Amino acid sequence: MKQILRDEPLDWRGVAAVADGADLVLSAGAWAAIAAAERIVAAIAEHGPRAYGINTGVGALSDTLVPRDQQARLSRNLLMSHAVGVGEPLPEADVRAIMTVQVNNYAHGRSGLRVETVEALLALLGASCCPEVPARGSVGYLTHMAHIGLVLIGEGRARVGGRQLEGAAALAAIGRRPLSLVAKEGLSLVNGTPCATGLACLALHRIERLLEGANAVAALTIEALGAGVAAFDADVLAVRRSPGLQAAGAALRARLAGSGALDRDGRIQDALSLRAVPQLHGAVRDAWAAAGAVVDRELASVTDNPIVSGTPEAPVVRSEAHAVAPALALALDGLAIAVAQLAAMAERRLDRMLNPAVSGLPPFLSGDPGVGSGYMIAQYTAAALVGENRRLAAPASLDGGITSALQEDVLAHPTAAATKLLAIVDNAERILGIELLAGADAHDLAGRQDWAPGTAVLLAQVRARAAPYRDDRPLADHLALGRDLVRAGLASVP
């Protein structure tokens, strides 16, 4: 099994790899940093100074002192009271991503969890013991990670080998015992941005594949409609500065090279949903790259509160607001808008293929128009998902809200930004899947043989999974195959 070594802060690709099943291994330097912070927190708990969440309450109770003999109880109580998630549980990959970012955060050596506690989190990852984490109920952080922390102390629920078990039974199934938390551990187990950051890493991973698929599917449609390609020439695109645009243009040229079905000298301009593919797909790629840089900076940052430093003999503890993460929320909100636009353009291309007034193809790509409706209603589905994306693209970072008796009176909502981005990505995969299947059927109905090698491999990939649609089976089942193909990754140019 692939191993990801955390000797420097992880990047988003490393997190995505662990979420997909790779092992996370900490370097000796990371373990040393964790142990050093553990000793500092132990000294603060024993002798002071006054420190948020170690010997005081949290939130609006930050000025309430907690005596030494109650600090371990505070840690346990924080998990109990903060585990307030609602709704269906997150998928296992999502939970693994969150736990991976938790470990990465603690490995900076500024949190103060015990080595034993970090080892327990790694044990859950290594044994595929997945805490049950409700998907909803967070305004930014705290909630999701509390449900993970519950399993560490033998509470909550987890899935092991496909079985749902109570926390203590889940730990026993992987040869572990429940932890007894000490000072600050409860706070650090719920604090920071691992939830939003972990989900963001998965979104970036899926969007990378989506961008590659979007270029391929667009090329299939462009060829089916016999559109022009002069607008994609390298010298034409070179006058606009955008790395993403250049990458999208190169992908289209490679995919369409050798096609005999394209208009090279006829019409002056094609519709923008065809002609502007490099511009829009490129802009989305640029937004994706910018968001990836923000996420990598988040992974390189300490997002716990408070942070500790110094030595056990001279401990330093500082309260701050690194867990708020407005930069992350803003980046994910922007990326959500970008992916929603990409999907909206795909729906417009789909509609052009189905409309005989502009396609030159049978109405709705039906093999028997009138008796058969072909993809008529599939376009309704795509339009509905575009509308849903438009609503989801409203910025979470502007939601506001006041919590904890005015103590937390500004909220950035990075977790909401991440979850709605994932929902938009899911819709985009479905829309592109519909366009992919329709494009394959359009090629069949066009009756030509001079397709580009780069699109021929797509046609072969589709036909290996899905026969042409002729109103002969429920269309929903057919469309699900398209989504699966896009999500798994489309064939590359030969």
181 contacts 72 by C-beta, under 8 angstroms: yes
Q: How far is the C-alpha of 157 from the C-alpha of 140, rounded, in Å?
A: 22
> Is 3-191's fold the same as 200-488's?
no
349 three-class SS: helix
Q: How far is the C-alpha of 276 from the C-alpha of 269, rounded, in Å?
A: 11
* pTM of structure: 0.96
The CATH number fitting domain 3-191, selected from 3.30.1380.10, 3.30.70.2740, 1.10.275.10, 3.40.50.300: 1.10.275.10
Q: How far is the C-alpha of 95 from the C-alpha of 99, rounded, in Å?
A: 6
Tokens for 256, please give them: 């369409």
Residue 204 burial (CB count, 10 A): 24
Please give the chain's pLDDT, 494 residues, in tens.
578 888 899 999 999 999 999 999 999 999 999 999 999 999 999 988 999 989 998 888 888 989 999 999 999 999 999 999 999 999 999 999 999 999 999 999 999 999 999 999 999 999 999 999 999 988 777 899 999 999 999 999 999 999 999 999 999 999 999 999 999 999 999 999 999 999 999 999 999 999 999 999 999 999 999 999 999 999 999 999 999 999 999 999 999 999 999 986 667 899 999 999 999 999 999 999 999 999 999 999 999 999 999 999 999 999 998 989 999 999 999 999 999 999 999 999 999 999 999 999 999 999 999 999 999 999 999 999 999 999 999 998 888 777 766 667 667 889 999 999 999 999 999 999 999 999 999 999 998 999 999 999 999 999 999 999 999 999 999 999 999 999 999 999 99
**Those residues with Cβ within 8 angstroms of residue 357's Cβ, 6 or more apart along the chain or in another chain:** none
140 contacts 415 by C-beta, under 8 angstroms: yes
Model pLDDT, residue 267: 77
Helix (H) or strand (E) holding 157: strand 157-160
253 contacts 234 by C-beta, under 8 angstroms: yes
Whether residue 9 has a cis bond before it, omega within 30° of 0: no
Residue in this structure with the two tokens 């979420």, named with its chain if needed: 19
308 contacts 317 by C-beta, under 8 angstroms: yes
Tally of CA atoms within 13 A in the half-sphere of 313 that contains its CB? 0
Q: How far is the C-alpha of 319 from the C-alpha of 113, rounded, in Å?
A: 17
Model pLDDT, residue 1: 57
**Those residues with Cβ within 8 angstroms of residue 81's Cβ, 6 or more apart along the chain or in another chain:** none
59 contacts 408 by C-beta, under 8 angstroms: yes
CATH 1.20.200.10 is held by the domain 200-488: yes
202 contacts 16 by C-beta, under 8 angstroms: yes
Q: How many residues does the chain have?
A: 494
Q: What is the DSSP letter of 65?
A: B
Model pLDDT, residue 409: 64
Q: Where are the domains of the chain?
A: 3-191, 200-488
